[in-house]
Amino acid sequence: MNIEKLKNTQAYFFELYPKGFEDIGLQPVMKRHNTAKVEAHVRTLFAPDQFANPELICENFTKIVSRSSLVSLFEKPKVRDMIKGMGHEQKDMLSIGLYELIHGDKRAGFESMVDVLLIHRLAKWSIITLIPYYYARNKNFFIKPTTTKNIIKFFELEGLVYKPRPSYDFYVAYTKTLKKMQALVHKSLSFENAAFTGFLMMAMEEEALP
């Protein structure tokens, strides 16, 4: 990890936005994502007792993906069509995988979701990590492919090789590294995980670091 680059990134970000994520320049972005409101909704829709009804879980899965500002417009209709085309068995698999990923055996849940989404060619990082992120924004990370690849390259994160097919081992290793990076920056930049990776992304895109 290149700690000097991380410190420079922080310094430059505060030059642009002196009040961090409370800066007036970032308010349109914060309002558009409104992750706190979505988190409250997701924690209700995907509470443990809701998983007794896999059909409802899959409907709510589609609902959150469709409304999320984090998922691309290209992927949203594909997820909707996938859920519509699923039989009971696949909906059960998706529901069980999501339950385990959020509430139980995370590795088993992650891999189960990959298996069922592969059938529909939708085993993508953004689809698998969305609900877990919203459910616990301070614990789980939303993985956006381009941002992830850029972070690994720019900050010289050793031992991390991004691959398009989601891997639980990579997710765990990447999460641990991001947590280490969070500990090195001002707490106002890491109050929740998407904000932290958003800070890294915005600063990198400026391409004006010393």
Question: pLDDT in tens for each of the 210 residues of the chain?
Answer: 889 888 888 887 887 777 767 766 666 665 555 667 788 889 999 999 999 999 999 999 999 998 888 888 889 999 999 999 999 999 999 999 999 999 999 999 999 999 999 999 999 999 999 999 999 988 899 998 888 999 999 899 989 999 999 999 999 999 999 999 988 988 888 778 888 888 888 777 665 444
pLDDT of residue 48: 94
pLDDT of residue 19: 75
Concatenating the DSSP letter of every residue in 85-134 gives H--HHHHHHHHHHHHHHHHS-HHHHHHHHHHHHHHTT---HHHHHHHHHH
Bin 20: left if φ > 0, else alpha if -120 < ψ < 50, else beta.
left
Rounded to whole angstroms, the Cα distance separating 130 from 91 reads 18
pLDDT of residue 52: 93
